[in-house]
Structure 1
Amino acid sequence: MTVKRDGTVADYITQAFLLLLQKKSFHDIKINELCEKAGVTRMSFYRNFDSKEDVLRKWLRVITDEWLAESGISFKHNDSRKYFILLFKHMGEYREFCSRLYKDGMLHLVKDEYDRVFLSVYKGVYDEYKSYFLAGGIFNIFQRWLIGGCVETPEELADKLERILEK
């Protein structure tokens, strides 16, 4: 696979990194190899990113923000089941990618994104501690689902989560 040439240097690097992650461990990918795959220089890499982790953090933020905009979810209302279903469907679309991150010990990057989103969208609704609590709990349910092979449907996970939060 080659990198599509229809974006910015950061896009080329991100695409190349995601392609390499399909074949190699996160830790086995070298910056030189990534730059070669992307068709850019190391200087271009470091102009756009601080590290390989930074590439993934920025990509996770982009796909999360796009999903939030597309889903039209309103976090200020009490339709948490609908939100949980949409969230787990979305995460299910990235299960292979997240499984790779889990195997490579990098799934904490997804956890960091959960924290960012929950702190942002529940600002003024819950205090900071409750937002972290919810983010961590939902992330851990996602992680357990991922480790277990994603057997349950998003609806089943949402129901389990609703029962947990009722108590």
Structure 2
Amino acid sequence: MRRTHPANMFVCECITQSLFRLMKRKPYNKITVTDLVQEAGVSRNSFYRNYQSTEEIIRQFLEEKTSKWWSEFIAYPDRYPHVISEMFYHFLDMKEEIDLLYRAGLSHLLMEHIVLCGRQSLTGELKGQLQRHQLMKQNVTEDDSYEICY
């Protein structure tokens, strides 16, 4: 089953929410797969069918939470004249989860995600749209991940 199947999406959501609930009560490095699947009410097979590690759960969570925002941004870039500040406002909606990541020493996962989003904005259609709307300098290369103008 792929992550797009409704039943599998439900399992992934249960696992994700369980991880964040456990992180409120227990240090991240002490959370086991057994703890996670018991909290989620799913089997170990469900975990391993979808994830290789608990960090992958967090990466998937960040991707899912930002994909809608990025899709809207790509479709309507003039709605977001201040790209960086808008992105951080978006992250405010995840402040509880981000706080848990920080407390668990996992803030690097958020930074990796932000850099990845920046790099994605430097490729293809989005780069052209940003440049047309003067939201990105014309001379930006993929190596210049932080050259987005705001």
Unaligned stretches of 5+ residues in structure 2: 1-6, 128-139
Deviates more, 1:100-109 or 1:43-52: 100-109
| Superimposed CA distance per residue, residues 66-103 of structure 1 (whole angstroms, 9 cap, x where no aligned partner) | 222345552xx7x8752223212112222232222122
Q: What corresponds to 2:103 in structure 1?
A: 103
Tell me the SS of whatever aligns to 1:69.
helix
Q: What corresponds to 1:130 in structure 2?
A: 144
Q: Matches of 1:80 and 1:6 in 2, distance apart?
A: 34
Give the alignment of 1:27-106 within 5 angstroms.
Answer: 27-71=29-73, 74=77, 82-106=82-106
Deviates more, 1:15-24 or 1:39-48: 15-24
Tell me the SS of whatever aligns to 2:65.
helix
Q: Matches of 2:116 and 2:85 in 1, distance apart?
A: 20
Q: Matches of 2:68 and 2:23 in 1, distance apart?
A: 22
Q: Are 2:40 and 1:26 aligned?
A: no
Q: Matches of 2:38 and 2:147 in 1, distance apart?
A: 41
Tell me the SS of whatever aligns to 1:22.
helix
Q: State the Cα RMSD in Å.
A: 2.7
8 A contact 1:25–1:100 mirrored in 2? no
Corresponding letter in the other structure for 1:27: N
Q: Matches of 1:134 and 1:34 in 2, distance apart?
A: 40
Query: Structure 1 vs Structure 2: percent identity of aligned residues?
Result: 27
Tell me the SS of whatever aligns to 1:87.
helix
Unaligned stretches of 5+ residues in structure 1: 136-160, 163-167
Corresponding letter in the other structure for 2:90: H
Corresponding letter in the other structure for 1:30: T
Query: What is the CA-CA distance between 1:35 and the residue it aligns to?
Result: 0.2
- CA change 1:98–1:73 in 2 (3 A) is farther
